[in-house]
Amino acid sequence: MSHLDIELKQLKVATIELWNLVNTQLAKGYESLISMDKEIALEIISIEKRVNAYEIKVDRDCENIFALFNPVAVDLRFVLAVLKINTNLERTGDIAEGIAKFVKHADANFDKKLLEKTRVLEMFQAAQNMMDHVLEAFEKEDTHLARKIFKEDDILDQINRGATSIIADYIRINPDSIEQALYLLSIIRKLERVGDQAKNMAEEIVFYIEAKVLKHISKLDSNI
């Protein structure tokens, strides 16, 4: 195994470690939302510091590989893909932290009927599944799995589209719960962005393995 191969392998390991850390944030976010556990929310916020440190490490590792080994072909595509995936993971960590802050600052438990009607918990699980599946695609270098992510995002988009009218109706009936309702709407918007980050990472996996650029191509395109 060449020195470059060793560096690429270590880069992949570091990226997976960051990915697992971010997925842990999301899992804890789901738990904190269900139980309104502010201690868990604080733990998520604390984990974000580790996520940021990992992001810097992965960035530096990529820079070192460029400087020392001048990778080409699939190796070059891999490092370029990891650079972008690294950014997507850090942004997903920010999203998880943002959700935790809503839980932390909420004065009361979220209305269970509103949680059910908005399908936010279903959305949370779907977002977690997308992140788990795109990580699996990265680990296995499986573009078939990566392409499935685009279809999985449909459920997040559907729930997000219906959220505004549901929240608006709830506020009209429950004017004293405006803050809680707006927090929940913001959480839904953030979960929709988790789906966007997962799709971006799936595109990068296809790019580095197949040398195909899927960005800006409609998800309805038959090639996807």
For the stretch 36-81, pLDDT in tens is: 999 999 999 999 999 999 999 999 999 999 999 999 999 999 999 9
**Statement: residue 216 has pLDDT above 50:** yes
Quick one: pLDDT at residue 217? 60
Number of domains in the chain: 1
- In percent, the amount of the chain with pLDDT more than 70 equals 96
Residue 219 lies in a domain: no
2-26: average pLDDT: 97
For every residue of 7-67, DSSP letters joined together read HHHHHHHHHHHHHHHHHHHHHHHHHHHHHT-HHHHHHHHHHHHHHHHHHHHHHHHHHHHHH
Which pLDDT score is estimated for 224? 45
Helix (H, G, I), strand (E, B) or coil at 119: coil
Is 216 within the bounds of a domain? no
State which amino acid sits at residue 221: D
Q: Is residue 121 part of a domain?
A: yes
Calculate mean pLDDT across residues 203-209.
Answer: 97
Taking only the tens place, the pLDDT of each residue in 123-160 is: 999 999 999 999 999 999 999 999 999 999 999 999 99
Q: What is the mean pLDDT of residues 96-102?
A: 96
Q: Which domain holds residue 58?
A: 3-210
CATH number at residue 169: 1.20.58.220
Residue 1 banded pLDDT, cuts 50, 70, 90: confident
In this model, does residue 3 exceed pLDDT 90?
yes
Read off the tokens for 112. 């269970």
Q: How far is CA 203 from the centre of its chain?
A: 14
**pTM for this structure?**
0.93
Work out the widest C-alpha separation in the chain, in whole angstroms.
66
The overall average pLDDT reported for the chain is: 94
In the predicted structure, residue 7 carries a pLDDT above the cut 80: yes
Assigned domain for 222 exists: no
